[in-house]
Amino acid sequence: MEKVKKILAPTDLSELSKAGVRYALSLAKELGAEVTAYHVVDFSEIQQYGRELQREGRATATFPLPAALVERYQIALAQFVADNFADLLPSVTIREKVEVGRPDERIVQQAMKDGSDLIVISTHGRTGLSHALVGSVTEKVVRAAPCPVLSIRPSGHEKVAQEAAGPTRKSRKKPPDLLEPSPL
């Protein structure tokens, strides 16, 4: 067995995904590996955001360019990492990357491109109809990954899985505000 040097830690910036990223960072600390925290903005997320803007009357004739969109999510990912894993950051080398696409496909491609030795990913615990309709990004990654995949089930998964299976307006992850100027 080869030493694990590169760990890919996909996240959708949700509460559930924190467990996978934390596990990846903790493992990297123990092994002396580096971690790439990786967020894929999927097309349905972009469409949902557009619909919310229209409902709020904030839709404009122009939509941010992909580069601007990725920049906003890069800021959101950096904030997610800083807010949730500050205790591990001083002792782990971490890169952050954001791309647009289908999460399962992009995660597999990124693992190949980086030469990742391991993917550590949270499972959201969907079951029944929700699982059948939405499928599981984790399952698809496991099937196609070029390296081993460690699936992490967050603690308190029963309650959280119910929320993930049927997001309400209140619990749905909201993307960064694309209409506000960037702090950069």
Task: For residue 140, count other CB atoms closer than 10 A to its CB.
Answer: 16
The pTM for the full model equals 0.76
CA distances from 151 to 110, 122, 139, 157 (A): 17, 6, 9, 13
Residue 132 has pLDDT above 60, yes or no: no
Token pair of 119 as six digits: 């993917």
Go through the domains of the chain in sequence order and give each one's CATH number: 6-165 (3.40.50.620)
The answer to whether the Cα torsion of 165, 170, 174, 178 is positive or negative is: positive
What does the pLDDT look like over 31-85, one tens digit per residue?
A: 999 999 999 988 777 776 666 666 766 555 555 556 777 888 999 999 999 999 9
